[in-house]
Structure 1
């Protein structure tokens, strides 16, 4: 018999299973189950994945909420485009918009305080990647993604779009400050 040619009998599943073949199938099945339960274990106990809430949202209403948030808590502007830097108090809902080709506004948070971050995209899929912490979220237009964050280290963090979103994708970098 050749591995290149089709089997002489078409009902191959009715043939007895070789002992070595059965051992390898059992090993593969056990390994799949171990990997499956490890995913659940790391999600619950390892705190490796973010538990996000996602809601369908009207982008116009989300823009209004974000603008009200920016108007209320702006402390200064930065960059050539004069992007507002927003410093909300602890426990406040904070808003971030991804759009061609920037993250708006710049957030300034306090170390050890908890915030609810609401994000959406105005146009295309964007990837929210907080560097150097390796937090990754797919931000989809028409959906509001909500995560609880508690910064534990001071510094400046970059928010990078890691989902190709067009010709200006390489310039889509935002900032997050932690005091």
Structure 2
């Protein structure tokens, strides 16, 4: 028999399994189980992935919540576009909106205090990447992503879109202050 020619019998799964094949299948299965368990371990004990809640929403409903937060907690504006800087109370829900090519509003949070961050996109897929930390969340239109965050470092952090969203993608940078 040649590897070029098709097998004489088409029902290959009815042939007995060779011992070497069985060993390799067992090794592959065992390795898959190890990697599966390691993913759970890394998530729970390694704190490498954020646990997010996701809800269906509409741009209008989310924009109303975000605007209510901005109206209530704005402390100043920054940049030429007059982007509001909000300083919400500790433990509150904070809303961050992605839209071509901006993150709004600028958030001002307190160190070692917990907040619930709500994210959504108003138009296209965007990626929320908090620099220089390793936090990455894909932000999808029509869905509200909720993450509990506790900033543990003071400073100014950049929010970068890491999902290509168009010609001005490189300008989609927001800010987060931790005091």
The verdict on a shared fold, with TM-score over 0.5 as the criterion, is yes
Counterpart residue number, 1:153: 153
Corresponding residue pairs, total: 179
Distance 1:14 1:109 in 2: 64
Deviation string 1:38-95 (CA, Å, 9 cap, x unpaired) is 1122222222211111111122122122112112111111111111111112111111
Q: C-alpha displacement at 1:132, in angstroms?
A: 1.3
- Find the counterpart in structure 1 of residue 97 from structure 2: 97
Q: CA RMSD in A?
A: 1.3
Q: Name the CA distance, whole Å, in 1 between partners of 2:5 and 2:164.
A: 44
- Counterpart of 1:65 in structure 2 is 65
**In structure 1, what is the equivalent of residue 19 of structure 2?**
19
Shift of 1:103: 0.2
Which structure 1 segments of 5+ residues have no match? none
**Structure 1 ranges of 4+ moved more than 6 A:** none
* Change beyond 3 A, Cα 1:135–1:4: farther
**1:1-179 residue pairs with structure 2 within 5 A?**
1-179=1-179
Q: Which moved more, 1:106-115 or 1:41-50?
A: 41-50
Partner SS, residue 163 of structure 1 = coil
When structure 1 is superposed on structure 2, of 127-136 and 145-154 the one drifting more is 127-136
Q: Under a length normalisation based on structure 2, what TM-score does the superposition of the two structures give? A: 0.94
- Provide Cα deviations, 1:110-169, integer angstroms capped at 9, x if missing partner: 110000011111111111111111211111111111110000011111111111111111
